Amino acid sequence: MDVLQGSIDVRELLSTQDVEESSPLSAPDLHLLIDRLQIRSLHIKQKVKDYILSHQTEFSQIFSTCSDSISNTEEISTDLANVVQLLSNNGIDIEIRDASKEICSVRRDLKEKKELLSLAKIVVNLVERLKVVKENLKGGELINAAESLRDLKKDLLIHDDDRRRVVFKLSIEKMKDVELHMVLRAMEVAGVLDYGLAKVADLTVKYIIIPTVNDECNFHLVEELLPTSENMDEAILSLVASSSDFKDESANIYSRLIQVINFIHKTVCFQNGRWMTCFGRLTWPRISDLVISEFLSKAVPDDASKVTELQKIIELTTEFEATLKDLMFISATDRKDEKLSSFVQNIEVHFAARKKKEILANARNSLLLFDSSNPSDYTIKLPSSKAREVAGIISEKPASLLFLPERCIISKAGDFSDVCLSSARVAMEFYHAARDALFLYEAIMLVKLEKQLDNVTQIAALVHNDCLFLALEVLGLAFEYRPDFPNCIKEQAVFVDIAARFHQMADDLLQKQIQLVCLNLEKAVDGADGFQNTHQLQQFESAKSSIDQVVFILEKVRSIWEPLFLQSNYKSSMSSVLDFVLSIITKDILLLDDMAAEETLQLQRLIYLTLENLSSVFESVISVNEKEDSQDVATPDLLDVLIPSLCKLRKLADLLDMSLKTIIASWECGELVSRGFTPSEVENFIKAIFTDSPLRKECLWKIESVSLYRKN
């Protein structure tokens, strides 16, 4: 059966084997192919028949096995149908199903009743225990009631996170008076002392601590005891207005606070250390924050020379916290409770933090007040268009760039060498302030000036210069100010990450400006309609209008870029823009497929007009140190290096009035290749200008030969 395997190659059936796949077959070949295919078909049929006859026994066994399988399947189906019929006639299956459902229902009801019975027992037990608590409360046994309530709380699995405030009034029938000491002890046993003292703590802070800390207050504290028996029944702390207009010194705030806390220690907490600690835990965070905001923060000096005057306040603060530790109002071991001491000990950092806020505020205001409507205020006021060639004329605005021998116009610059005279901690804060100020520039300016940055404007050029200046400036900070840096931050003050970031921003802005200009130039060149049919007046005027539009755009870009950009950036950017637009013009002219003699003259005229109108732009591209003193115009050779498509366009203008032999001679000597012409461009140019002739064919053959020779 190998004849059935694989595919039949039709070409083998033909008389000739060298027939191409794409070539059509002749009628005799088709008749021959049909005959041979019929013969091949008969041959295949005979092979199949012989194969079946030779394996007749095997095929008979296969068919017999299939027949037996079908018979067995029918017998099984009949038996299964009989069983199903037997079950359907007898109702025993329905009875079994109903009995099973009833058993499950009874078991479920029994389980639910057992669970309800257990729950009822638990509820009865809880009610009995609550009755005991109630009886203890009525009898004045608050401590026993609190202990029972605590055990009940554990059994009910009530956690502190699940508590909800419940306010209720409790009347005690068998006791006329209940001592505060007993109430506090009962709350401690019940684990609700924090809740019980929270209201007292809030009222104390609101009506006593806040007026005490306020340095504008004009009163003094008076303690009043009203004993009615052997035990003290009533204690009053009053705020009595002072008769004089004299205001207490700021340091006296500590003495008034100690008087208040001593009063609480004696009359509220009954000199119990645990209760005093609990009360302090509820009030100290707010008291310390009030002291810092109302007193210590106002004592932070405005001048670094006045930092030493805070020594007295530091001593008073240390003594105040030591007294609170003795009263167990704050922890003697937890450093977190020493907030006031930590604040005054770090007074330099707070001074630096205030200065940091001022720096960032000033930076933010400077950025927000930047007037983008008058960018001319930031350009160099030059007396003439050739002022770049005049030595010694430098505006006050240009800023020197580290690592570059040039200057550029930026929005604003400043010096902060005086910051290096600060202490280490202050200097570190100023370091972070400098980083944050740089990030502010990125966050504000790029968003505020988004519309201007999306167009070719002086603002975009100015922001590019800012980013470039900042990138180079921060990169050189470690070198410029290293002798003045405190030793501890010489290795920590690093701006390399920001420098790379701003350098990338400057490159992105510059590339975006170039892309925008190229896009505008491409639209202007598109108006020339490929420079077709320029021998017609209307088409020539349209092409000339497009050229004028290109010149206008480039002159406008020059007026924006030249006064602001670095000379190197201006040269590279303008060169790339000129190369782009000149290459488009050259490409469009070379793509013309048919040019009349008059049309070549008009195209040559347009090219010369373009180069003439752009002469001032070409001249601006040449740097001062790249010009000879005796030259008043741009050097062609240097321009050809900066703008490769310029020499190609000039050569194209020459080719438009050259003879065919001269063009071929230029190609053979390699001049056209050096100007950027490709073989296909030269061939298309010759076909567009010269009519078909033996000489043209010979010239085209020479171009192909030379190009093949150069490839090899």
> For the segment 600-658, what is each residue's pLDDT rounded down to a tens digit?
888 889 989 988 998 888 888 876 445 444 444 445 577 878 888 888 888 888 888 88
Residue in this structure with the two tokens 């009898």, named with its chain if needed? 139
Predicted pLDDT of residue 392: 33
Q: For residues 612 and 664, state if they share a domain.
A: yes
Using the predicted structure, report yes or no on whether residue 191 has a pLDDT greater than 80: yes
Q: Which residue has the higher pLDDT, 455 or 307?
A: 455
Q: What are phi and psi of 55, to 5 degrees?
A: -115, 35
Q: What residues contact residue 235 under an 8 Å CB cut-off, 6+ apart?
A: 223, 224, 225, 226, 263, 266, 267
What are the DSSP E strand ranges found in 487-540? none
For residues 497-508, average pLDDT = 86
Residue 96: inside a domain, yes or no?
Answer: no
Task: Give the model confidence (pLDDT) of 101-141 as tens digits.
Answer: 888 888 888 888 888 888 778 888 888 888 888 887 777 77
Same domain? 392 vs 492: yes
Residue 602 lies in a domain: yes
What pLDDT is recorded for position 395? 38
What is the number of structural domains in the chain? 4
627 domain-assigned = yes
HSE toward the beta carbon, residue 446, CA cutoff 13 A: 14
Contact call for residues 437 and 495 (beta carbons, < 8 A):
no
- The winner for highest mean pLDDT among 207-216, 408-417, 473-482 is 207-216
Which pLDDT tens digit goes with each residue over 348-403? 677 777 777 877 787 777 777 766 665 555 444 333 333 333 223 233 456 555 54
Residue 320 pLDDT exceeds 50: yes
Distance in angstroms (rounded) separating the CA atoms of residues 549 and 534: 17
- Residue 301 or 159, more confident: 301
What's the CA gap between 710 and 147, in Å, rounded?
A: 107
> Residues 333-350: what's their mean pLDDT?
82
Q: Does residue 359 belong to any structural domain of this protein?
A: yes
One domain, residues 433 and 493: yes
How far apart, in whole angstroms, are the C-alpha atoms of residue 91 and residue 572? 101
Which tokens in the block code for residue 605?
């005229």
Would you state the torsion angle of the CA atoms of residues 544, 547, 552, 553, taken in this order, to the nearest 10 degrees? Answer: 150
Looking up residue 614, the CATH number of its domain turns out to be 1.10.357.150
545 and 500 belong to one structural domain: no
pLDDT of residue 422: 60
Residue 618 in contact with residue 551, Cβ under 8 Å?
no
Q: Which helix (H) or strand (E) element contains residue 408?
A: strand 407-408
Check whether residue 431 and residue 566 sit in a common domain: no
Residues 17-37 have pLDDT tens digits of 555 666 676 777 777 878 888
- My answer on whether 372 and 493 are in the same domain is yes
pLDDT in the model for residue 630: 42
Q: Are residues 403 and 546 in the same domain?
A: no
315 — pLDDT class (breaks 50, 70, 90): confident
Tell me if 582 sits within 8 A of 649, measured CB to CB: yes
Residues 652, 546, single domain; the answer is yes
Q: What does the pLDDT read at residue 387?
A: 32
Nearest to 455 by CA among 520, 410, 525, 388: 520
In a domain, 61, yes or no: no
- How many whole angstroms separate alpha carbon 637 and alpha carbon 106? 109
Using DSSP's 3-state secondary structure scheme, residue 400 falls into strand
pLDDT, position 374:
59
Q: Name the domain boundary from 487, 510, 533.
A: 510
Tell me if 145 is assigned to some domain.
no
Averaged pLDDT for residues 549-558: 92
pLDDT at 519 over 90: yes
262 with 380, same domain? no
- Residue 471: is its pLDDT beyond 90? no
- Whether residues 301 and 410 share a domain: the answer is no
Rounded to an integer, what distance in angstroms lies between the CA atom of residue 40 and that of residue 27?
20
**Residue 457: predicted pLDDT:** 85
Structure tokens at 152: 């009940």
- Determine the average pLDDT of the residues in 417-440: 71
pLDDT by residue (tens digit) across 155-186?
776 655 544 444 333 445 555 566 777 878 88
CB atoms near residue 337 (< 10 Å): 21
Cβ atoms < 10 Å from Cβ of 465: 26
Q: Which residue has the higher pLDDT, 276 or 97?
A: 276
Pick from 320, 345, 370: which residue ends a domain?
A: 345
Asked if 581 contacts 547 with a C-beta cutoff of 8 angstroms, the reply is: no
Report if residue 319 sits inside a domain: yes
Pair of tokens at residue 653:
């203008």
As a residue count, the chain comes to 712
Task: Please indicate, yes or no, whether residues 338 and 405 belong to a single structural domain of this protein.
Answer: no
Q: Round the average pLDDT of the chain to a whole number and report it.
A: 77
pLDDT at 548 over 60: yes
pLDDT of 453 above 50: yes
Task: Band the pLDDT of 582: cuts 50, 70, 90.
Answer: very high
Residue 394, pLDDT score: 32
* Exposed / middle / buried, residue 235 (Cβ in 10 Å: 0-12, 13-18, 19+): middle
Q: Supply the pLDDT for residue 316.
A: 87
State the pLDDT at residue 170: 42
Q: Do 363 and 506 have their domain in common?
A: yes
Range of the domain at 7: 2-54
- Residue 226 token pair: 């009203």
Q: Provide the pLDDT for residue 284.
A: 93
Res. 285 pLDDT band, cuts 50 70 90: very high
| pTM for this prediction | 0.51
Least confident of 466-470, 576-580, 704-708: 704-708
Between residues 426 and 664, which one has the greater pLDDT?
664
Higher pLDDT, 133 or 308: 133
Relative to beta strand 219-225, strand 235-241 is: antiparallel
Q: What is the number of other CB atoms lying within 10 angstroms of the CB of residue 75?
A: 9
Give mean pLDDT, residues 410-432. Answer: 62
pLDDT of residue 401: 54
Domain final residue pick, 319, 345, 371 = 345
| pLDDT score of 305 | 56
Is position 529 within any domain? Answer: yes
Q: What mean pLDDT is predicted for residues 574-593?
A: 90
pLDDT digits (tens, 9 = 90+) for 35-81: 888 888 888 888 888 888 888 888 888 888 888 888 888 888 888 88
pLDDT band of 511, cuts 50, 70, 90: very high
